[in-house]
Homo-oligomer: A and B are copies of this chain.
Amino acid sequence: MDAASIQTVRAFNRLVGERIGALNDEFLGRRRPMGESRVLWEVGPDGVEVRTLRVRLGLDSGYMTRVLQSLQKHRLIKLEPDREDRRVRFVRLTRLGRAERQELDRRSDAVAWSFLEPLSPQQRTRLVSEMTELERLLGASLVTIAVEKPTTPDARWCIQQYFAELNARFEGGFDSARSISADSSELVAPAGALLIARLRGRPVGCGALKFHHRAPAELKRMWVVPGARGLGLGRRLLLELERLARRNGAGAVRLETNRALKEAVALYRSAGYREVKAFNDEPYAHHWFAKRLATSPPVPPPSRGIRRGR
C-alpha cells in the first residue's frame, strides 16, 4: 500500500479521533462519569443481565459491580436476581433512569447535529452516505469469528434470522420441519460445530458444520446479517468453516443450497466448490456443491470487490 494512503488514514484518524472523542466527553460525560453513562446507555429500555453487560462493555466484574452500585444509589437502575439463574443479576432502568437515558439520547443527537449543521444540504447528504460506507468498511476489520454453543441467545437469534430469511426468499416459503435437520445437539462437538461472527459483541453472521466419520463434513446455516453483506464476511466464515472441518479430520466439505440464494451460490463457486449430483434429498435444495480440502491450507483467493451505488 502506498505511503499517501497511509498518510490519509493517519490524518483522518487524528482529526476524527480528536473531534469525536472531545465531543463525546463534553456532551455525554458531563453529568456523571463516562463509565456510568456507558452502562446506563447499554442497559437499554428492557433491562439486561449483568453478565451480558459486562461482556458487551468489556468491563471487569468488580468495576462493573461498583458502577452499578453507584447508579443504583442515584436511583437510576434497579437490580434484581435473574429468574432462571439466580447467580446472575438483572438490571432494569427506573423511571428516572429512563429519563436520564433519554437525555443522553438527546445529547447524542446534538453531537450528531453539530456535524451536520454547518453543512449545505448537498454536503449533508454526502456526509451521511460516506459515513455509512466508511462504517461498513471499518467494521469489516472488527469482526471476530468463534465457535459458540447453538443454545446461546445470540446463536438462536442468528438461526432464527436465517430461517426467516429463507422463508422470505424461497418461493413458497420455508418450513424448517420439512428440511434436513441441524439442531442444537448436532452442532456441538463432536457431532458438529457452530461459528458465530460478531461485530463489537453483536452477532452478525453464522455458519455450521456437521461432521461425519470418514465422509465429507456438511456445511449448514451460512448466514450474514443484511447490514454486513458485501464486506467479504461470508467468505471469511466459509474459510473458517473449512479450516475447522480440516482440523476435525474431514477431507472435503459439501453442502446443498436453494437457487434463490444467488450470492451464496456465487460465493461457493468462487471459493472453489464444484456442483455435484444431489447427495441427499433436501426438499428445498436446487444445487449441491462439494469441495475437497487441501491438506495444507490453500492460499486465500483475493476477495471480490463488491460494488454498491451510492
Interface residues of A, Cβ cutoff 8 Å to B: 1, 5-13, 15-26, 108-109, 111-124, 126-128, 130-135, 137-143, 200, 231-232, 236, 302-308, 310
Given the contacts A13-B20, A16-B20, A122-B305, A115 and B127 also touching, CB distance less than 8 Å: no
Nearest Cβ on chain B to A58's Cβ, whole angstroms: 10
SS class, residues of chain A in contact with chain B: helix
> Would you call B112 and A10 a contact (CB within 8 A)?
yes
Q: Is A13 within 8 A of B9, CB to CB?
A: no
Choose from B109, B138, B143, B231 the contact partner of A19 (Cβ within 8 Å). B138
**Which one of B120, B139, B236 contacts A232 once the chains associate, using CB atoms below 8 Å?**
B120
On chain B, the residues within 8 Å of A12 by CB distance are 131-132, 134-135
CB distance B24 to A302 under 8 Å? no
A21 with B21, Cβ < 8 A, contacts A8-B131, A141-B119 known: yes
Known: A5-B128, A22-B308, A114-B306. 6 other contacts (CB 8 A): A9-B115, A13-B23, A19-B142, A20-B20, A23-B306, A25-B308
Contact of A113 among B6, B121, B131, B304 (CB under 8 A): B6
Q: Which of B108, B115, B231, B303 contacts A138 (CB 8 A)?
A: B115
Q: Is the CB of B6 within 8 A of A303?
A: no
Instruction: List the B side residues contacting A15 at CB < 8 Å.
Output: 135, 138-139, 200
Q: Which of A9, A132, A140 has the most CB of B within 10 A?
A: A9
A122 contacts across to B, CB distance below 8 A:
305, 307
Which residues of B are found within 8 Å of A142, using beta-carbon distances? 19
User: Do A140 and B114 form a contact, CB below 8 Å, given A8-B131, A131-B8?
Assistant: no
In the complex, the answer to whether A16 meets B138 with C-beta atoms within 8 Å is yes
Contact between chains at A126 and B135 (CB < 8 Å) = no
Knowing A231-B123, A302-B120, the reply to whether A13 touches B134 (Cβ < 8 A) is no
What would 11 A/B residue contacts be, using CB atoms closer than 8 Å?
A8-B128, A8-B135, A20-B20, A23-B308, A114-B303, A114-B306, A115-B141, A117-B305, A120-B305, A126-B133, A134-B134
Given contact pairs A10-B109, A12-B134, A26 touches B306 in the complex (Cβ within 8 A): yes
Residues of B within 8 A of A119 (CB): 137, 140-141, 231-232
Most B-side CB within 10 Å, residue of A7, A15, A26, A111: A15
